[in-house]
Amino acid sequence: MNETLAAAISEVETVKGRGDLLLAYDLACEHLKTWPDCEQLKHAGLLALARAGATAHARRLFADWNLGASSNPHILALEARLAKDFALKMQGDGRRAGLLQAASIYQRIHERAPDSYLAINMASLAFLAGEHAQAANLAHSIIAESGGAGAADYWALASRAEANLLLGRKEEARVALVEAMQRPSNAGDRSSTRRQLKLIMAHAGASDNEIAAFLTPLEPPVTVHFLSNGLPGTGWSFSQLSETEMCRRIRQAVAGLRPGAAFGSVGTAAEIVFAEEILSFGAQLELAIPIRQSLLKKVIQANAGDPWATRFEACCSKAHRVVLPSDDPDATDTTQADYAVRFGMGLALLRAQHIDGVAVQVTLADAVRDHSSSHAAVWTSRGRERMKVQLDDLVKPQESAPTLDERLTHALIFGDVLGFSSLEERLLPVFWDKVMRVIGDVADEHRNNVELRNTWGDAVHMVLTDVRTAARISLAVQERLTAVDGRLFERETPPSMRIGAHYGPVFAGWDPVLHHSTFYGRALSKAARIEPIAPPGRVYVTEAFAAILLLETGQEFTCTYVGVVPLAKDFGFFRMYDLVGS
């Protein structure tokens, strides 16, 4: 293996290890353009995708990339891992059968190449499927083969802890787990172990409190979302003494949280200081800024001078990722700031979900106009933790700049029916009555949240007040279309739609041609470019939609990562998710 390829594999593994699963998959795909036959890159990318919950997509790629033909038992074992993940999404007899099937795959590989990793997974799957005697026999063998104290690495000790837990030996399991944490490991490894042990304990009837207490050694780092009360470009009026005190309070808050990653913006002094402290602590910084970086720098420069503009630029350059939810350069529209904040909140929740951890919101409360209360209400509405770093006594009140008419953020849907253009003319009335009526009926059921609906031919466009309504409509349309008899259109299969959805700021206005209210803006153009690349029968959504959906609805829906996808008509490359019901 040459050094360049080794460095590429190491990069993917490092990113996966710290819990940035989507980037790990993206990097693997990017490196595979150079080394298309590298099994290690394929394995690392698919394992990241699997840990992110994109089971179906990972299974398709496992087959497409022909990893079943590998001679490496750990690469082959990914098939069993994906079969287990798929089974865990099921209930009853189907779940048990799926778990046993996954165990049989591990066994087949283990018979060819005996390995403790394969054996412990066989044992745990047997236990979860109710085959407790078989699980116990395997667990005894694993403990006997692993030897006494002083096992070499994290995984050997984690396997011993898991085997003891299968036998009901919680104290022995705890000792092995504590010892495992003294060995080199990463957040990704620990989150994988944590999920596995949680499954076993829940199956054994342990309470949530018992599980939490036992898994304390594996507790993942906190993911933080931070925001200031002030709008971008405000909150700069304070003395040098006050700045020193602000830094002290923020440093104390960061040290107390001990975060692994932080998401937010850097449009105010407090946010810049918080970002600096995150970087000094050694945590990962991800920024969602409301306007282009160069323009935001000019706003800061005009309001606070060159030193703060330089510090802003340094934070952006050291950040792991700087996301621009909307590329609109309008610095006076407060909708842009609100949109970026909500996007960052959702991204923080996605990261915490990927490492089986918790997310905490930190409000940097100064004395300018409070633009954070609505965000805090959304955050805490589902019991999420929030803390405030009080800065009221340090920053002098100042007037916010006047704003133009504000836009509103809405959920946007575009869809069309596959094969419509090839329908014979005589079948169009039937299509209109059977297919388009289904879509109309679903929209009617949510009419209070439908701001606009439009159609032409087989195409459908809707503007909704919120992402929950958009998700419900999209999934309901796809489900109900499967019940339409394809023979009505002289086809063997039911009609199928491609649906794309986005969430972003749009203008509400009056259509001078059609003489009714309408919506317009670049976000609509982006949403329209998603539908052509969505597979039939599926709903593809943007990262903004997925993030806001998790923020506002919790686990009501599931958005599984697809990858960085080129949109239609050369509109650019964007992270895309597949929306399914939970």
Please calculate the CA angle 44-13-119 and round it to the nearest 5 degrees: 60
Burial class (CB in 10 A: 0-12, 13-18, 19+), 459: middle
> How crowded is residue 581: how many other Cβ atoms within 10 Å of its Cβ?
12
DSSP annotation string for 9-37: HHHHHHHHHTT-HHHHHHHHHHHHTT-TT
382-385-391-396 Cα dihedral, nearest 10 degrees: -10
SS3 content of the chain, % helix, strand, coil (to 5): 55, 15, 25
Residue 26, CA atoms < 13 Å, CB-side half-sphere: 13
Structure tokens at 66: 């022909």
CATH pick for 408-581 out of 3.40.228.10, 3.10.450.50, 3.30.300.30, 3.30.70.1230: 3.30.70.1230
Map residue 225 onto helix, strand or coil: strand
Report d(CA 507, CA 524) in Å as an integer: 10
| pLDDT 10s digits, 362-413 | 998 754 445 556 788 889 888 899 999 988 777 655 444 444 445 789 999 9
Q: Domain residues of the chain, as ranges?
A: 3-218, 222-390, 408-581
Average per-residue pLDDT in the chain? 89
The listed range with the strongest mean pLDDT (15-24, 234-243, 310-319, 401-410) is 310-319
pLDDT of residue 400: 47
Question: Mean per-residue pLDDT for 328-334?
Answer: 66
Structure tokens at 8: 């590429």
Confidence of residue 305 (pLDDT cuts 50, 70, 90): confident
Q: For 325, which DSSP code?
A: S
Strand-pairing partners, residue 262, are 224, 285
pLDDT of residue 224: 97
Burial class (CB in 10 A: 0-12, 13-18, 19+), 558: middle
| pLDDT 10s digits, 431-471 | 888 888 999 999 999 999 999 999 987 889 999 999 999 99
Structure tokens at 448: 């209070």
Report d(CA 110, CA 107) in Å as an integer: 5
pLDDT of residue 406: 58
312 Cβ partners below 8 Å, 6+ apart? 266, 272, 296, 297, 300
Structure tokens at 549: 């959906």
Question: Mean per-residue pLDDT for 81-101?
Answer: 94
Q: For the domain 3-218, what is the CATH superfamily, name and number?
A: Tetratricopeptide repeat domain (1.25.40.10)
Beta strands in 138-283 (DSSP E): 222-228, 259-264
Strand-pairing partners, residue 421, are none
Report d(CA 49, CA 508) in Å as an integer: 38
Class of domain 222-390: alpha beta
